[in-house]
Amino acid sequence: MWIFNPNTVSDTANAVVETSKKQDTGWIMHHVLDARELDLSPFGVIHLPQIHLFGMDISLTKHVIFMWLAFLILVVTFIYMAKSYRKSLVPHGVTNLSEILIVFVRDEIAKPTIGKGFETFLPYLLTVFFFILTCNFLGLIPYGSTATSNISVTATLAVISFFVIQIGGMMKNGAFGYFKGLIPHGIPTWLLPIMLVVELLGLFTKPFALAIRLFANMTAGHIVILALLGLIIILHTYVIVPISIPFALFIYLLEIFFSLLQAYIFTMLSSLFIGMAVHQEH
């Protein structure tokens, strides 16, 4: 049983690194990273138009296209759903499925974490949940690409969350009251400067953690799958196939779970931070 021998494993890893230096392994990163074209091989490659505006490169990329695809899917699904409610209050088909998720976000995420006045933030939380969920799932279909495995996308979403949290807190407590409420009660005066810095840093670490968590989770799964499949090509042997394929499949299934989980966690934490900003007394 050579595969359980740690030396052999490190040898294998060495071999991987050695061969990777010799061969072109950019294809893993090529798959995970953003690109300026949609790679539909063997059917061909679609080159996306390049747009420059005010000296900035805002060219369409693979991840933009898949965000738009998610956008389209969500708009069509939910407008269809809203229309189906107009006909009858009894849900059918897609409506039934989406309703479960909507009620879940409302009753399990927004209501317990924000409490009173959660309705104001519900549209944002629902949108962010379904947008991330759809983007995650789009990465799991063939030729798909995960927009949420791009740090630019997750960071932007986290920054939007950050603004929602701060504005929500300021709307409830007033701008001054909100910043005053950040500092805990009953601390010595000489600690104030330090606490101010710590609390302000705390404000920024929250969205930073959100961005990194989503990005890392969505990227890692793909890299692991590709690395497992890549072993077959890199090692030039079929012996590895019975190991790589089941493992890749297992990771793939795990990714389905993580797609749901990460959408949930992002929404849950955003909601939690909103709740903390709105009800500072807790």
Q: Provide the minimum distance between the beta carbon of 28 and other proteins in the complex, in angstroms, as a whole number.
A: 6
Q: Torsions phi, psi of 38, nearest 5?
A: -95, 115
CA atoms within 13 A on the CB side of 132: 32
Among 223, 235, 254, 272, binds other proteins (CB under 8 A): 223
Among 41, 262, 271, which Cα is nearest to 147's? 262
- Told to check if 151 binds other proteins by CB under 8 A, we report yes
Q: Let me know: does 154 contact 263? Beta carbons within 8 Å.
A: no
Contact track, other proteins, 228-247, x by CB under 8 A: --------------------
Q: Let me know: does 219 contact 147? Beta carbons within 8 Å.
A: no
Cβ-based nearer residue to other proteins, 10 or 205: 10
Among 109, 157, 225, 263, binds other proteins (CB under 8 A): 157
- Interacting residues with other proteins between 252 and 281 (CB under 8 A): none
DSSP string, 170-225: HHHH-HHHHHHHHSPTT--GGGHHHHHHHHHHHHHHHHHHHHHHHHHHHHHHHHHH
- Told to check if 127 binds other proteins by CB under 8 A, we report yes
Among 4, 22, 89, 185, binds other proteins (CB under 8 A): 89
Instruction: Compute the distance between CA of residue 265 and CA of residue 54 in angstroms, rounded to an integer.
Output: 37
- Told to check if 14 binds other proteins by CB under 8 A, we report yes
Q: Provide the minimum distance between the beta carbon of 237 and other proteins in the complex, in angstroms, as a whole number.
A: 18
Q: Which stretch binds other proteins (CB under 8 A): 6-14, 138-146, 165-173, 182-190?
A: 6-14
Q: Which stretch binds other proteins (CB under 8 A): 74-82, 181-189, 201-209, 236-244?
A: 74-82
Instruction: Compute the distance between CA of residue 201 and CA of residue 223 in angstroms, rounded to an integer.
Output: 32
Instruction: Compute the distance between CA of residue 211 and CA of residue 163 in angstroms, rounded to an integer.
Output: 14
Tell me which residue has tokens 């969205």: 207
CA-to-CA dists, residue 34 to 62, 166, 208, 216, angstroms: 6, 31, 21, 15
Contact track, other proteins, 22-61, x by CB under 8 A: --xxxxxxx-xxx----------------x----xxxxxx
Q: Which residues bind other proteins (CB under 8 A)?
A: 9-10, 13-14, 16-17, 20-21, 24-30, 32-34, 51, 56-61, 63-64, 67-68, 71, 74-75, 78-79, 81-82, 85-86, 89, 99, 102-103, 106, 119, 122-124, 126-128, 130-131, 147, 149-153, 155-157, 160, 215, 219, 223, 227
